Chain A
């Protein structure tokens, strides 16, 4: 991610280190020290300050990037809302890590899912290549004049962030041409045209501003598609709002986010060889959420297992609630149920994925979902 940030060459990077995102900023600081970028790096005393500095620098008229994880983003909480509500196109790498307590440094999505309502666009990645590609596209999506919203580029801590994988790095000049020059709106530093930022906004206009944010998020859906199309034309890798893997004639489908999808694909390949009609729907854009598109993609599917790598205590998993909402008005609703897995980095192996496909096969044959909500690989279950 730091290499990608070097290629993008942002104006300002305010940051505070936290495992497992530390190395992003560590390596990027080296690029700054070596004069390989023109970036002003601001080392601050907390993540709250990091995001505050991001907002200030963006409002001043700069292209701004940062990176964080888990508790680090939690400390940004107030400022996450300020960034999106002030419509600052900040791009942040979020290396997904479990929230404490008990203290844990490993991957789950409790950090980003907790921030799903903060008004940030959220893109997710299965592997290093997708994370790299998403970061490049995020700049263009965030800065689009119909959007002007911050983007969170999410990937699993350690599993992806510390994994050595083969991937295609693109030419720096091509990337800079693709993202283009930063265009600021009403920059604070433009003293010829003074503008007021962060004004008080009560019963009179607050609600209109919130609705405007909502509209920007709706616009983002088309902008993500458009930017992904342009990216595919130049770099050859095509991305949609979600990935459909062997979905066309699938009867039984798993829906999931991030690194676990790689394993699911391997399992699907194995089962397809034996004629088992199974598939995967992998979420890329969680905010905005593509309800209609997902419902259309699941047409003809008979049963759906939604895997959530985070919890909403006392409710279903956050992905599950979206999927069931997407399916509620579908003419032919598949059976759908929820499984929580991988909290705090607990591994899921290919054999576990096979078990899921065996379970939903039984559910389909008996036409009954025995357990709507359950955990995978947990003691005392």
Chain B
């Protein structure tokens, strides 16, 4: 396995926009100088509400392997209830990071050898005027704070580019406010 590749697995529900979120981070990573970026969604039956996942691989070098991630460095979860349904930490490298959209505190989760970051993206997104359930841009703010390897400004611009004509400012604002309100656990 190549150690130059950062592997991030995104878990969401069909219709929640996890794949769009990963695509935005992919674009921002590319702009930030990571020339090897691969975002490979794992599509299932594509029902609304069913758990879905996508693989995002980021490196400064070219990536040839397009298979789904089996040993992620990071996991992002757009709905904390998925944690009870799917083994979201499956294969995670020790010391890895899990970012969860939840009203709960990181200490409420008990993952072995993992750093936990939480943010109540659902509430924040509602406060900035996004339609109920649109959490895929806010969660990027939590990801930025907890992972600290792609700048928030680059990510916010990538959000605005993706949502041209669909409330770009509200979406990037959701990310910025979430960034400030993300709690990163001590472990």
Using a CB–CB cutoff of 8 Å, the interface residues on chain A facing chain B are: 105-106, 127, 158-160, 162-166, 259, 262-263, 265-266, 347-350
Q: Are B43 and A159 in contact (CB under 8 A)?
A: no
In the assembled complex, the CB of A333 is this many whole angstroms from the nearest CB of chain B, namely 30
Task: With CB as the reference atom, state the residue of chain B lying closest to A106.
Answer: B43
Bound-complex Cα distance A165 to B55 (A): 12
Using a CB–CB cutoff of 8 Å, the interface residues on chain B facing chain A are: 1-2, 22-23, 26-27, 30, 35-41, 43, 62, 64-68, 70
In the assembled complex, the CB of A246 is this many whole angstroms from the nearest CB of chain B, namely 13
Bound-complex Cα distance A318 to B100 (A): 46
Chain A residues positioned under 8 Å from B2 (CB to CB): 266
Bound-complex Cα distance A150 to B95 (A): 54
Whether A165 contacts B67 in the complex (CB less than 8 A), given A105-B43, A158-B43, A266-B2, comes out as no
Q: Are A263 and B64 in contact (CB under 8 A)?
A: yes
Bound-complex Cα distance A249 to B80 (A): 52
In the assembled complex, the CB of A344 is this many whole angstroms from the nearest CB of chain B, namely 12
Q: Are B64 and A265 in contact (CB under 8 A)?
A: yes
Whether A164 contacts B68 in the complex (CB less than 8 A), given A158-B43, A159-B40, comes out as no
Q: Are A350 and B67 in contact (CB under 8 A)?
A: yes
In the assembled complex, the CB of B64 is this many whole angstroms from the nearest CB of chain A, namely 4
Whether A165 contacts B64 in the complex (CB less than 8 A), given A105-B43, A266-B2, A349-B70, comes out as no
Most B CB contacts (10 A, CB to CB) among A158, A159, A166, A347 go to A166
In the assembled complex, the CB of A202 is this many whole angstroms from the nearest CB of chain B, namely 48
In the assembled complex, the CB of B2 is this many whole angstroms from the nearest CB of chain A, namely 7
Bound-complex Cα distance A325 to B98 (A): 52
Chain B residues positioned under 8 Å from A158 (CB to CB): 41, 43
Chain B residues positioned under 8 Å from A348 (CB to CB): 67
Q: Are A259 and B43 in contact (CB under 8 A)?
A: no
Option from B22, B30, B37, B66 in Cβ contact (under 8 Å) with A263: B66
Whether A162 contacts B43 in the complex (CB less than 8 A), given A259-B66, A262-B65, comes out as yes
Chain B residues positioned under 8 Å from A162 (CB to CB): 40-41, 43
